[in-house]
Amino acid sequence: MDWSTAQNILCVRLDSLGDVLMTTPALAAIKATRPDSQITLMTSAAGAALAPHLPMVDDVWVYDAPWLKATAPRQNSQPEQAVIEALRSRQFDAAIIFTVYSQNPLPTAFMAYMADIPLRLAHCRENPYQLLTDTIRDPEPELTRHEVQRQLDLVASVGYRTADERLQMTVPKAAHRSVSSLLENLGLSPSQPWIVVHPGASASSRRYPPELFAEVGRSLVNQGIAVLFTGTAGEGELVESIRSQMIAPSLSLVGLLTLAELSALLAAAPLLLSNNTGPVHIAAAVGTPVVDLYALTNLQHTPWQVPHRVLFHDVPCRLCYRSVCPEGHHNCLRLVEPEAVVAAVLKLLPQGTLPIAADLVGTR
């Protein structure tokens, strides 16, 4: 058995929706090289929400690993023992373990080893000895290689390549129809300039301050651009706080969209303004420009292969890889001036969607 003949392939990405999306070019490379392969994606419950939208994946296996921060505490190792037995019963030919730079692949590699999966591939900083059969040794530190490129490089090391390196997801026609109806009910005409604003993020370190989002929104509305907010139901309070501080009309679909509908909405939108979070990668997958308020926790997750502007304020504590700002000041985002955000939106909005007054607004 070698990588050129492996057919039943387990791909492990135990992270969030955005991380899974950034792995889709690598998954597509496997399928492009081995069209007859059977690809099973093992991912978290959050990542598995993408399953119906991944054309290159044949099966999805939900597993919330105890070495990931969002997983509830285990009482014992019984779930992991059950997973190992289930892996063994599936008789996989190969396992490819996708991780971000700051993660260690060896817990997953050990499970694959115990399940007798003959080929096991991952990036790894430590010497994995027999736990991995194929390894790309991580340089340390690795700061600038994009997450998508990292995973493409991993599968290319065993011969899997693709000419199409874009993020990939399918959006059902029914979702497009639903969103068209929603936009019509909101009073957004095809000729009116508008953007989607997504002010939430799972990590507080990656959130632009609400009062500054409000300033941005107010300025855009005053210049003739409609602002449509999105977010999960749990982000409703955050969004309503921003809307109330705007003192200007805005629209909201917070808590009202399925993942498919959010994807269709972003496909229809002229532009997305967002923190560094999952919808940025959905926008990239459907080809929508992005203004990304990008906290300097890392540098590897910027929008991939779409027009974009990445805004941040440089700080000495950059590259902290933290979900909570370790300094407590959030200056890598807080010091990004609302005027700079507005200028980036106006510069990136596609021609034909700009308000008449847009060419009178300077950039900084």
pLDDT of residue 141: 59
Query: N- to C-terminal Cα distance for the chain?
Result: 58
Q: How many CB atoms lie within 10 A of CB 156?
A: 16
Tell me the C-alpha distance between 295 and 81, whole Å.
Answer: 38
Residues 186 and 234: their CA atoms lie apart, in Å, by 22
| Per-residue model confidence (pLDDT) at position 313 | 81
Q: Which tokens belong to 188?
A: 């957004």
Question: 10 Å Cβ neighbour count for 80?
Answer: 18
Taking the C-alpha atoms of residue 16 and residue 142, their distance in angstroms, rounded to an integer, is 21
pLDDT tens per residue, range 88-131: 999 999 999 999 888 899 999 999 999 999 999 999 989 999 99
CB atoms within 10 A of CB 187: 9
Decide if 207 contacts 334 (C-beta within 8 A): no
Ordered domains of the chain (ranges, CATH): 8-156 (3.40.50.2000), 174-360 (3.40.50.2000)
For 36, 217, 229, 235, 362, the CA distances from 196, given in Å and listed in that order, are 39, 10, 6, 15, 22
- pLDDT at residue 356, rounded to an integer: 42
List the chain residues with pLDDT less than 70. Answer: 70, 140-143, 190, 320, 351-364
pLDDT at 245: 96
Cα separation, 287 vs 306, whole angstroms: 6
Helix (H) or strand (E) holding 55: none
pTM for this model (two decimals): 0.90
Question: CA 356 to CA 192: how far, in whole Å?
Answer: 11
* pLDDT at residue 247, rounded to an integer: 92
> Can you give the pLDDT at residue 188?
86
Instruction: Measure the CA–CA gap between 229 and 252, rounded to whole angstroms.
Output: 5
CB within 8 A of 177, min separation 6: which ones? Answer: none
Rounded to an integer, what distance in angstroms lies between the CA atom of residue 84 and that of residue 348? 48
